[in-house]
């Protein structure tokens, strides 16, 4: 559940109360009506109805409690600030946990100056007299915080550059490490000429290139033999299947449908999605 993942206890218990309350009310309705009709002649309908009323009452109380919890739920921005550098969460830094939490105990307020000093970025002079940022542990923490921030402030997009190249744009792609965690989870395409064929392609990526902050390039094969199953739609509406043994080159592709996932932050279990859909005017 998203509320539990984000560490918002009010949202989590509110959703749990609303779900349980609605379930109990639905159950009480199904219990009362048919049972009363079937057992009314035996004098048992009254007791069954009383049980149904009691269940309904509890369900209404839970539903009301769940609605009240909604008043105390926190927005993503609030949770991000609370668990960030200027926040007041009990834990900060260490290993990232779930949506916004950390594992290490936060420095006491009277030691905040120590945390402040640790957070300074340091630079090292290179042979060509330029300065390069040193990637310290504290810098890694900063990157994770910013990746978490982009997860709710930016929308990932997927575009086609050519038949063997897709571009992913998302501000949370802050370095090559997170770019290499992008996964192609769906890839379909149609070819020029012939019948309408949708090729369900094995999601094969030859390489992922970190182009710059916020952008990554996915390189696809130029030849697809052995990497696809094709579902052919005939004039009669039937579908045939190809086993991927026939070779064709990428230049014959005229329409692509794809989906990628990107971690919310470095090594996170939850992901951000971006999709590219077939265009309506390119079916052949």
pLDDT of the chain, 284 residues: tens digit per residue: 444 455 445 455 445 555 564 565 455 555 444 544 444 444 444 455 555 555 555 555 645 555 544 444 668 888 888 998 888 899 999 999 998 999 999 988 778 888 888 888 888 888 888 888 888 888 899 999 999 999 989 999 999 999 899 999 999 999 999 999 999 998 888 887 766 677 777 778 889 999 999 999 999 888 877 777 776 655 555 566 666 666 777 778 888 899 999 999 988 989 999 999 987 654 44
pLDDT score for 71: 47
Alpha-helical runs (H) found in the chain:
2-6, 9-39, 45-70, 76-82, 112-118, 137-153, 176-179
CB 259 within 8 A of CB 273: yes
The end-to-end CA distance of the chain, in Å, is 42
Give Rg (Cα) of the chain.
28
* C-beta of residue 175 within 8 angstroms of C-beta of residue 208: no
* Phi, psi dihedral angles at 100 (to 5 degrees): -135, -5
Six-digit token string for 138: 């504290």
Our CA angle for 40, 58, 62, nearest 5°, is 145
pTM, two decimals, is 0.69
Torsion angles phi and psi, residue 215, rounded to 5? -145, 140
Whole-number pLDDT of residue 201? 76
Count the neighbouring beta carbons within 10 Å of the beta carbon of residue 118: 13
């Amino acid at each position: 559940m998203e509320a539990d993942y984000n560490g918002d206890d009010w949202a989590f218990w509110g959703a749990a109360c609303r779900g349980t309350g609605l379930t109990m009310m639905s159950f009480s309705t199904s219990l009362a009506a048919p049972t009363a009709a079937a057992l009314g002649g035996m004098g048992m309908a009254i007791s069954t109805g009383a049980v149904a009323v009691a269940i309904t009452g509890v369900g209404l109380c839970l539903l009301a409690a769940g609605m009240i919890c909604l008043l105390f739920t926190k927005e993503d921005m609030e949770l991000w600030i609370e668990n960030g550098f200027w926040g007041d969460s009990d834990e900060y830094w260490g290993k990232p946990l779930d949506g916004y939490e950390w594992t290490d105990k936060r420095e006491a307020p009277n030691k905040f100056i120590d945390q402040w000093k640790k957070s300074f970025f340091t630079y090292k002079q290179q042979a060509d007299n330029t300065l390069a940022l040193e990637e310290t542990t504290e810098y890694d923490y900063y990157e994770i915080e910013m990746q978490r921030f982009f997860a709710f402030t930016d929308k990932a997009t997927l575009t086609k550059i050519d038949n063997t190249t897709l571009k992913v744009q998302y501000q949370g792609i802050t370095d090559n490490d997170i770019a290499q965690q992008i996964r192609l989870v769906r890839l379909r395409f149609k070819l020029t000429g012939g019948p309408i064929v949708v090729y369900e392609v094995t999601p094969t990526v030859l390489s992922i290139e970190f182009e710059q902050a916020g952008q990554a390039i996915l390189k696809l094969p130029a030849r697809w033999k052995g990497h696809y199953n094709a579902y052919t739609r005939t004039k009669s509406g039937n579908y045939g299947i190809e086993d991927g043994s026939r070779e064709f080159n990428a230049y014959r592709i005229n329409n692509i449908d794809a989906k990628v996932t990107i971690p919310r932050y470095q090594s996170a279990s939850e992901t951000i999605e971006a999709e590219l859909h077939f265009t309506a005017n390119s079916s052949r």
